[in-house]
Structure 1
Amino acid sequence: MAGFTGSCLCKAVTYKSNADPLMIANCHCENCRRATGSVFGTILFVPEDQLQFDGEVTHFSHKADSGNTMTKQFCIKCGAQLFGTNSGRPNVAGIRAGTVDDLNIIKPTMNVFTDSMVPSTQLDQDLPSSPKMPP
């Protein structure tokens, strides 16, 4: 694949990852549900130093259930969440799958935080699942 690109809803923020995803997770934690407004969030994890973006973003930081500090980055114009970092995983950025240009690259490799998933959500049984985020 050799990297990928994406943008926010209004296209004021664009980005390029020069690296392929380290993993792609369907995250069922409460934070992802509330941040995305959906029953889970799909996140592409990349080395933070391989992510370049143009445009202005704002930040929101909060403490996750794990005790780690999560920082989410949003477009200042349309409010779309694009990226996030987690103090428990230094040097890794999470990119929201809905912002990726080529949707064909979104092939989740695992489900995480299944212990807090919405009960009616059906999991892909071909993917490994973890009740929390694996180390």
Structure 2
Amino acid sequence: MNEGHCLCGSLTWEILAEPYAMYNCHCRMCQKVHGNAFGTYCFVYADQFRWTGSTDTIVDYESSPVLIRSSCDICGSVVPYSNKEGNHWVTPGGCHGHMRKPDYNIFVTDSSPWYTINGDMPRRSGYPEESGIPTVEGLPAPEKAEGHIRGSCLCGVVTYQVTESFQNAHHCHCSRCRYGRAAAHSSNGFVSYDGVQYLSGEDRLKSYKVPDAQYFTQVFCEVCSSLMPRHDAERDITVIPMGSLDDDPEIRTFQHIFVDHKARWHDITDGLPQHPEKPAI
């Protein structure tokens, strides 16, 4: 039995068997909804999954003709959902501290320009052939535009632009980031408070602050639950989930932080510096 939960804890569930498949998905839809380079998904049969509490806070968004994604309406975390046939469930690996390791990196041709896939895990341009899952048409990348770097949510309601150069970018493995992004880690870029300008949909944003956190807050689209930039006036920064970007930010993540808290099922395979906690400034 393997327990999982969203960031705020209002949605809880159990997996009753080891997943029969587990993939790191690099498609642009997963990048958007997780705000990250990839989402990791565990596949179990219908009788191997169960909710262990209320499901009142679940909201759904149909991201493709074959996929309805679910998330928590309070905190924005991606949560489990079933396929349309109802014969298996897909659970986000980031909401589980303990899990087996993934089998494949999939949809790797859609990988973010700011992220390099490393390691020996097999790679596929779509779903593995043996999965029997039909490959869906991905979210097309927008044409390169002159001027500011752009970003948007999955449904397109929220759009923004970055009006200055990034100060830095990193991968964070703390439990809040893992459960909030429902992913192996978060990948965030940082600019000043005034460095992001919302172009549309700012009034469609929701936010959730972890009660005992000094700063940690998730901002997400109320329609599709994609993670969006968060202005932090106290620290004069804006935190940008890098998976929400539509253009190459011309910066690369340069370190991993809070690696003492990383998911046991995730292996760090790049050569970037690793810090057990938050490094000293």
Please tell me the residue identity of whatever aligns with 1:77.
V
Q: Does 1:92 align with 2:237?
A: yes
- Residue deviations 1:42-90 (CA, integer Å, cap 9, x gap): 11111121111121211111146xx423222111211111123568x71
Q: Does 1:70 align with 2:220?
A: no
Q: How many residues align?
A: 131
Structure 2 segments unaligned to the other structure (5+ residues): 1-146
Q: Whole-Å Cα distance in 2 between the matches of residues 63 and 84 of structure 1?
A: 17
Q: Which has the higher contact order (CA 8 A, sep 6+)?
A: 1
Percent identical residues: 25
Q: CA deviation at 1:107?
A: 1.7
1:33 to 164, 168, 178: 178
What TM-score do you get using the length of structure 2 for normalisation? 0.43
Q: Between Structure 1 and Structure 2, whose CA radius of gyration is higher?
A: 2
Q: Whole-Å Cα distance in 1 between the matches of residues 162 and 182 of structure 2?
A: 25
What TM-score do you get using the length of structure 1 for normalisation? 0.83
The structure 1 segments of at least 4 consecutive aligned residues displaced by more than 6 Å after TM superposition are none
Q: Whole-Å Cα distance in 2 between the matches of residues 100 and 106 of structure 1?
A: 12
In the alignment, which residue of structure 2 is the partner of 1:123? 268
Q: Whole-Å Cα distance in 2 between the matches of residues 121 and 95 of structure 1?
A: 23
Please tell me the residue identity of whatever aligns with 1:130.
H
* Aligned CA-pair RMSD: 2.3
Structure 1 segments unaligned to the other structure (5+ residues): none
Q: Whole-Å Cα distance in 2 between the matches of residues 114 and 128 of structure 1?
A: 10
In the alignment, which residue of structure 2 is the partner of 1:80? 226
CA contact 1:29–1:113 (8 Å) conserved in 2: yes
